[in-house]
Amino acid sequence: MRKILLTLALGITTVTFGQQMPQFSQYLRNQYMVNPGAAGMYDFVDVTLGGRMQWMGFENAPMSSYIYASSSLSKRTRTRHNPALRTSNGPIRNPEIKTGKLKHALGGMFVADQYGAFRQLKGALTYALHLPVARDYNLSFGANVGMSNRAFIKERAQTLNMMDPSLGYTDDTYDTYAQSSSLNTIDIGAGLYFYSKKLFIGVSADQLTRDFISFGNGTANFDPTMHVNFTAGYKFTLSDNLTLMPALLAKYMYPAPTTLEGSLQLEYKEWLWFAISYRQGVGGFNNPDAVVGMAGLNISKRFKFGYSFDYSISQFNQYSAGGHELVLGLMLGR
């Protein structure tokens, strides 16, 4: 009986989360986390730290965090620190996206994802080649190679006790079939990213090799599956100070159905931004997941900050207080 209950619990967890990779609300501001081809768009070292807490109010609710760094290897133009060139205090505009030239880029990331009794740790290195298609457009190809550790931690699992001694079930059934497990796999991902100062279109895939190269122990079957992401967005100029960017993120993992997330981002003086997203659940348009509100700004020429709040509009909103995501960025050598 406990084996059946454990199997059902694992199945519900898989269906609920839909995908094996962690998702982040502020994907528009952190394209590298979605597509390795976006590494090195800027001619400085971009270091970003982020954390997301979901389903507040649930014990052992999902928690995800990441840190990444990326930079192009192109030569940077140095400017002398002449006081006459200093600008007055005020809005710090976004860094410029440079196109029209060949660039090589490197990046690296570390991601930690935990939900219930499951935990995943991933580290990866990235190389990206940016090819000029025209003066205003670049096409980038990026690939990352890394290792993931997936673990089932028995001590964090909770089960229902529905034992019936008259049927011959024993107390060690759960211990027999639910042992702490750990699986290490070599992960390879790749992506294409077409972009300009106003437009981006990208397609990427993670876990291309699945568990082809793996080692570990335990009885849990993690079964890593390939994930495909598609992103697109365009920035419209509304006035000298305002821009509006609609964007789309589509995610697919077999056998789960494709999920969609649509976003609108309003930016003031390329400095202060607000955004709202609608995230579709795994059941399609008739199964909404969340509405996300976001805001952020460039604190200085070196630091940027973003915050988002997920408000669940699914059946879980009766029990969950929503979710929070914080992002802090450091722009070195800008």
Measured torsion, CA atoms of residues 124, 66, 250, 93, in degrees rounded to the nearest 10: -110
Q: Which is higher by pLDDT, 164 or 221?
A: 221
Give the residue extent of every domain in the chain: 2-75+88-332
Residues 6+ apart with CB under 8 A from 237: 243
What pLDDT band is residue 8 in, cutting at 50, 70 and 90?
very low
**What is the value of pTM for the model shown?**
0.83
Dihedral sign of CA atoms 39, 43, 45, 49 in order: negative
Closest CA to 12 of 151, 164, 150, 117: 117
- Decide: helix, strand or coil at residue 301: coil
Per-residue pLDDT reduced to its tens digit, 133-176 = 999 999 999 999 999 999 888 777 765 555 555 555 555 545 55
- pLDDT computed for residue 130 by the predictor: 97
b/e per residue 85-106 (b: at least 16 CB within 10 A): eeeeeeebebbeebbeeebebb
Asked if residue 136 lies in contact with residue 100, where contact means CB atoms within 8 angstroms, the answer is yes
**Per-residue confidence (pLDDT) for residue 216, from 0 to 100:** 82
- Over residues 218-247, mean pLDDT: 91
Q: For residue 73, which of 154, 139, 20, 130 has the smallest C-alpha distance?
A: 130
Task: For residue 88, name the pLDDT band (cuts at 50, 70, 90).
Answer: very low
The helix/strand/coil state of 310 is strand
pLDDT band at 84 (very low <50, low <70, confident <90, very high): very low
Residue 38 near residue 325, CB atoms below 8 Å: no
Mean of the per-residue pLDDT values for the chain?
83
CATH fold of the domain at 2-75+88-332: Porin (2.40.160)
- Non-local (6+) Cβ contacts of 241 within 8 A are 268, 269
Contact 238, 260 (CB under 8 A): no
Nearest to 101 by CA among 126, 122, 72: 72
